């Protein structure tokens, strides 16, 4: 069972804080890690107590909810649920990758849905951390096997590109070798891997994934597409100087002008 989710409640109105605390009372999977009445208290509490989840009011004196988030680094950022009586902040809230936007007054059913999303998000984060540790062990075991015994140790090398990815789906865990991936597309904040006619949803952004892959094998050809260069069969010229990348299985992908130079460099010729 997943350990209880530690929630911090931030609102300058005591009744609003009490409402959320009461809704969380008696739950075995949530525990209130504290309450804050303003943004400065919240910023300090998040850094000191490292909660998993923060219910964050937007409008607060001196330092508002957005100011709190701007004062945190990426590794300090918990899962955020904005709670406010005003809907005009919704777009900006999701620019900060908030999990949810609760508009006051909300009912018990709406709050329960937020908790379900929070559970799923945090479970996935913990699964990802476990996956990273598993991959590190696999890479370490492989490295020891290849180096053999009795060899002198070398200076630490630069981080190796991902060779395996772990994907969980429908109660199963898939270990996918990077070289088996045909292409990858963005799907919201996640990435969908296309592997031999099948697809797997990886809860990782396309940009983060791109930075971990072998840059000599995988190339971004569009803001929402990465392709395995070894799967490219041909390039087709379209109207207005556009190109379509055709893979071995017949899949057709658009090549954006902004990503053409990188492909030109890797292929070693102009087109």
* Digit-coded pLDDT (tens) for 2-15: 688 999 999 999 99
pLDDT of 195:
94
Distance CA 181, CA 177 (A): 7
The answer to pTM > 0.85 is: no
5: Cβ contacts below 8 Å, ≥ 6 apart? 29, 30, 31, 52, 53, 118, 119, 122
The CA–CA distances, whole Å, from 243 to 229, 230, 262 equal 15, 18, 14
Distance CA 262, CA 257 (A): 10
Structural domain spans, the chain: 5-123, 163-267
The CA–CA distances, whole Å, from 198 to 183, 206, 218 equal 11, 18, 18
pLDDT category, 24, cuts 50, 70, 90? very high
* Mean pLDDT, residues 87-96: 76
CB 37 within 8 A of CB 16: no
Q: Is the pLDDT of residue 107 over 80?
A: yes
pLDDT category, 87, cuts 50, 70, 90? confident
Least confident of 35-39, 135-139, 169-173, 198-202: 135-139
Between these two residues, 127 and 208, which has the higher pLDDT value?
208
User: CATH number of the domain at 5-123, please?
Assistant: 3.40.50.2300
Distance CA 243, CA 221 (A): 10
The values of phi and psi at residue 86, to 5°, are -120, 130
The CA–CA distances, whole Å, from 88 to 92, 94, 101, 133, 214 equal 9, 12, 11, 41, 42
- Is the domain 163-267 a CATH 3.40.630.10 member? no
pLDDT of 48:
93
Alpha helices in 99-230 (DSSP H): 108-147, 206-212
* Residue 238 tokens, joined: 């379209």
pLDDT of 17:
95
* Mean pLDDT, residues 206-230: 90
Q: Is the pLDDT of residue 145 over 70?
A: no
* Of 165, 214, 216, nearest in space to 192 by CA: 165
Q: Is the pLDDT of residue 124 over 90?
A: no
Cα angle 126, 128, 130 (rounded to 5 degrees) comes to 70
pLDDT of 259:
81
Strand 232-237 vs strand 243-247: parallel, antiparallel, or unpaired?
A: antiparallel
CB 118 within 8 A of CB 5: yes
């Amino acid at each position: 069972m997943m350990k209880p989710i530690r929630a911090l409640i931030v609102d300058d109105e005591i009744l609003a804080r009490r409402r959320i605390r009461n809704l969380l009372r008696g739950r075995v999977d949530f525990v209130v890690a504290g309450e804050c009445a303003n943004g400065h208290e919240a910023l300090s509490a998040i850094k000191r107590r490292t909660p998993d989840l923060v219910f964050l009011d937007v409008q607060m004196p001196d330092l508002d909810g957005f100011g709190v988030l701007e004062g945190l680094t990426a590794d300090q950022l918990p899962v955020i649920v904005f709670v406010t009586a005003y809907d005009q902040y919704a777009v900006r809230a999701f620019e900060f990758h908030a999990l949810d936007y609760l508009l006051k007054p909300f009912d018990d059913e709406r709050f329960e849905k937020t908790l379900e999303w929070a559970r799923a998000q945090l479970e996935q984060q913990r699964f990802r951390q476990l996956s990273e540790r598993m991959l590190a062990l696999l890479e370490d075991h492989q490295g020891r096997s290849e180096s053999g015994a009795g060899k002198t140790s070398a200076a630490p090398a630069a981080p190796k590109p991902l060779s395996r990815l772990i994907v969980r789906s429908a109660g199963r865990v898939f270990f996918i070798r990077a070289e088996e991936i045909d292409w990858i597309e963005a799907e919201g904040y996640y990435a969908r891997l296309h592997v031999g006619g099948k697809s797997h949803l990886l809860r990782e952004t396309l940009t983060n994934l791109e930075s971990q892959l072998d840059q000599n094998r995988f190339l971004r050809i569009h803001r929402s597409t990465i392709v395995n260069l070894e799967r490219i069969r041909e390039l087709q010229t379209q109207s207005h100087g556009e190109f379509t990348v055709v893979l071995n299985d017949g899949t057709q992908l658009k090549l954006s002008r902004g990503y053409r130079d990188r492909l030109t460099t890797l292929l070693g010729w102009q087109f």
